[in-house]
Amino acid sequence: MLEFLQHLFGEHNILVYIIMTLPPLVFMIVFALAAVLLERKVSAHMQDRLGPMRVGYHGLIQTVADILKLLQKEIITPATADKKLYILAPFVVFIGSFGAYACIPFSSQYIGSAISLGLFFIIAISSLAPVGLMMAGWGSDNKYSLYGAIRSVAQIVSYEIPTVLVILTIVVLIGSINLQDIVKAQSGWFWNWYIFGGPGGWGKVITIPFIGIAFLIYIIASLAETNRTPFDIPEAESELVAGYHTEYSGMMFAFFFLSEYANMFAVSAIAAALFFGGWQSPFGDAIPFLNNPWMQVFWFVFKGLVFIFLQMWLRWTLPRLRVDQLMYVCWKVLTPFAFIDLLIVGLYAVLR
């Protein structure tokens, strides 16, 4: 897509870059609208309810109505708040989650920025979010917000370590941290996906259990990274009311919400790209129609949505952990296992 646009507008035309950023932004907004509705419908049907039913067929445009409501609401700034931090915080959080979309490959023909340090960039830019959360918590001048922010920052920073170790496990097998390369390496039938050991001969069978463990660790850690139940203690409703966004209203609140759902898809997309072949069709090139660039977008979003559903399923089933138990899970369970996993898979990668 980049070559096509450069051909159309000239190599260094600013329009090229603006158009390149549009698809993820549009996708993110549409996805957030759909995911909020999906969340409400999924939770409703798990809880013997129907969920939104009034606005549109089965409540299909409920979230559009919600956004319209939020747009009209007054943005309230507490009198004692630190105004600059308070107003800036939602945008910093949003930049953190939107920035990650730059290196997510939606299709073989589209990736926002094909830099060779893709995964590294995603991890780095995601770390901007805790800064925004801390700004929100401190700027609100609210004790609940402050507690939520401190918990959230501690949690996200801690859980980055097992996440990165697990990502490295796949990276040592491929030898590249460009997500587009990682996905391309898994071409062919679905048994070439890394959850099934990746491409290669029968020797890959040894790695399957270790990659399975890595996948489990990634799923658990990604739940914590996105503040989802059972790790949603930063916004634990029964303790901290709403955590760091207690004081926010209107579109400022919507921005936190938007970036939360954007983050959910970002971690799901990385899981899909690393373990489930990204935009690859499960049938490879055997059915060429299913592997054209447009269908690749479908496969990628579909795989992401499966993980989104998994996150929602867990959220509406499990209770919440306590803050010290959360840290216990991270430092004493996930990190050692992820580290041992990395060593074993790394050894295999060297010896094969």
Minimum CB distance to other proteins, residue 42 (Å) = 11
Q: Which is nearer to other proteins, 84 or 143 (CB)?
A: 143
Nearest to 164 by CA among 233, 94, 222: 222
Bridge partners, 107 (sequence order): 110
Q: Which is nearer to other proteins, 83 or 143 (CB)?
A: 143
Q: Which is nearer to other proteins, 147 or 256 (CB)?
A: 147
Minimum CB distance to other proteins, residue 233 (Å) = 7
Q: Which is nearer to other proteins, 321 or 334 (CB)?
A: 321
Distances (CA, A) of 312 to 48, 222, 316: 16, 13, 6
Minimum CB distance to other proteins, residue 336 (Å) = 19
Q: Which is nearer to other proteins, 24 or 234 (CB)?
A: 234
Residues lying near other proteins in the complex (CB under 8 A) are found at 43, 46-49, 143-144, 147, 229-230, 232-233, 236-239, 241, 316-325
Name 300's Cβ contacts closer than 8 Å, sequence gap at least 6: 105, 106, 107, 269, 272, 273, 278, 279
Q: Which is nearer to other proteins, 21 or 43 (CB)?
A: 43
Minimum CB distance to other proteins, residue 237 (Å) = 5
Nearest to 38 by CA among 314, 242, 308, 223: 308
The answer to whether 79 touches 89, Cβ cutoff 8 Å, is: no
Minimum CB distance to other proteins, residue 51 (Å) = 12
Phi and psi torsions of 111, nearest 5°:
-145, 135
**Distance (Å, whole) CA 233 – CA 66:** 25
Minimum CB distance to other proteins, residue 239 (Å) = 5
The answer to whether 138 touches 106, Cβ cutoff 8 Å, is: no
